[in-house]
Amino acid sequence: MSNQIKQQTYKKMQTVLSELPWYVEEYINHKTRKLSAASLLNYCHDYKIFFNWMISESLWDGQLKDIPLDRLEKLTVLEVDGFLNFLHYQLNNKEITVNRKLSALKSLFNYLQNIAETQELTSYINRNVMAKMEFNELKDSMETKANKMEGKILLGEEYEKFRAFIAYDYGELNKDNKKIYNFYKFNQERDTAIVSLILGSGLRLSELVNLDMDDIDFSKYSARVIRKGNKEQYVYFSQIAMNDLQEYLAIRATKYQVDKNNKALFISAPMGPKGKSRRLTARSVENLVGKYATAFGKPSLSVHKLRHSFATRYHSEINDVPKLRRQLGHSSIQTTMIYTHIRNDDLKSAVDKMDMPKDE
């Protein structure tokens, strides 16, 4: 903000302060070095609205400028609730705006109770009603949720890079650690197939670990899953996921010493004295994804974030929300709509190209 604008804002603030009680000006002076002139001007406007409301509600019979400290000390929770309702229902302030104005009042009252002192070294007020008031809980908008998610999922080239990291690069990274390397090589095909299937279908963790061999339809590139509400559905997956799955199935029976009666698709390494293989657990899948995500440099990645990664890419390439909703098994389309707010790198690249000079 330029000096000229600051000066103009300061003059406006002084004009509003001239209409407010003396202790407000003292508080504003206390905050001058800590807050911008624009913020302090907003505070002044908020206080003016509050004190005018007190007069309109007959909580003070007199001039706004003359409202004394002891009247503030006697305000009740019920009365302040009335002011907050006035902001919301009569002034049509959004919840975030109501919170901002309440924050301004909390700051003023905190100053009056805990910072300001009389000549006798006592507080201006002993009772602070604003300390009892709670802010509105704010629900994140779709865009806010999407922005929070954006840094925690795979976008653009990261999508294939993460799959390739599990299929090849993790081994190269740890080839000097024999224990880690051998464990990775043993589960290389299985782990690649697991991550590839999630990235290529958007399956939930519970759906993935409950898959049986018979649930895979190799001709239609689909998997039979039981979704929430005990609903049966066939979910399609990608060609890459199919290739990785077939590589895993080629070694599944022999490498994992699978009993013929064990129909689980994904199997754990033989454990226990008898070396018996079992269905891979949800916790095991979470752990292996976490291990690879940390080594990849995105420790916030999880199975659920891989599902989000699939949904984001699907929307950017297909742009069909109803189909995406069915693929993900969402009961409400509102849940699916979050992916329309994520700024995928591929989309950004396309938009960036619009600004490039074109040949005449």
Instruction: Provide the residue-wise pLDDT of the chain in tens; the chain has 360 residues.
Output: 456 677 888 889 999 999 999 999 999 999 887 777 888 899 999 999 999 999 999 999 999 999 999 999 999 999 999 999 999 899 999 888 899 999 999 999 999 999 999 999 999 999 999 999 988 775 555 455 545 555 567 777 888 899 999 999 999 999 999 999 999 999 999 999 999 999 888 888 989 999 999 999 988 888 998 887 678 888 888 899 999 999 999 999 999 988 888 899 999 987 766 677 889 999 999 999 999 999 998 888 888 888 888 877 776 676 677 777 777 776 666 666 655 555 444 433 433 433 444 333
DSSP code string of 139-165: PPPHHHHHHHHHTTS--TTHHHHHHHI
Strand order in the sheet with 216-217: 216-217, 222-227, 231-236
Is 100 assigned a catalytic role?
A: no
Torsion sign, CA atoms 141, 145, 146, 148? positive
Residues listed for the chain: 360
| Domain extent listing, the chain | 3-139, 145-346
Of 278, 304, 323, 341, the catalytic one is 304
**CA 197 to centroid of chain Cα atoms:** 24
b/e map 193-218, b = 16+ CB within 10 Å? bbbbbbbbbbbbbebbbbbeeebbee
Q: Do domains 3-139 and 145-346 have the same CATH topology?
A: no
Number of other residues whose CB lies within 10 A of the CB of residue 277? 20
pLDDT number for residue 315: 67
Per the DSSP assignment, residues forming a β-bridge with 234 are: 224
Q: State the pLDDT at residue 317.
A: 72
For domain 145-346, give its CATH number from 3.40.190.10, 1.10.10.10, 1.10.443.10, 2.40.50.100: 1.10.443.10
Kindly report the CATH class assigned to 3-139. mainly alpha
How many other C-beta atoms lie within 10 A of the C-beta of residue 109? Answer: 23
Does residue 220 carry a catalytic annotation? Answer: no
The predicted pLDDT at position 1 comes to 45
- The region, left, alpha or beta by phi > 0 then psi within -120 to 50, assigned to residue 356 is beta
User: pTM for the complete prediction?
Assistant: 0.54
> What confidence score (pLDDT) does residue 143 get?
52
Which DSSP category does 318 fall into?
H
> Residues 204, 255, 305, 308: which is the catalytic one?
204
- Active-site residue identified among 307, 308, 315, 325: 307
The predicted structure's pLDDT at residue 339:
56
From the candidates 6, 228, 263, 348, give the one annotated as an active-site residue: 228
**Catalytic (active site) residue 228:** yes
3-state SS record for the chain:
CCHHHHHHHHHHHHHHHCCCCHHHHHHHHHHCCCCCHHHHHHHHHHHHHHHHHHHHCCCCCCCHHHCCHHHHHCCCHHHHHHHHHHHHHHCCCCHHHHHHHHHHHHHHHHHHHHCCECCCCCECCCCCHHHHCCCCCCCCCHHHHHHHHHCCCCCCCHHHHHHHHHHHHHHHHCCCCHHHHHHHHHHHHHHHHHHHHHHCCCCCHHHHHCCEHHHEECCCCEEEEEECCCEEEEEECCHHHHHHHHHHHHHHHHHCCCCCCCCECCECCCECCCCECCECCHHHHHHHHHHHHHHHCCCCCCHHHHHHHHHHHHHHHHCCHHHHHHHHCCCCHHHHHHHHHCCCHHHHHHHHHCCCCCCC
User: Bridge partners of 217?
Assistant: 222
**252 in catalytic set:** no
Q: Is 227 a catalytic residue?
A: no
315 is catalytic: no
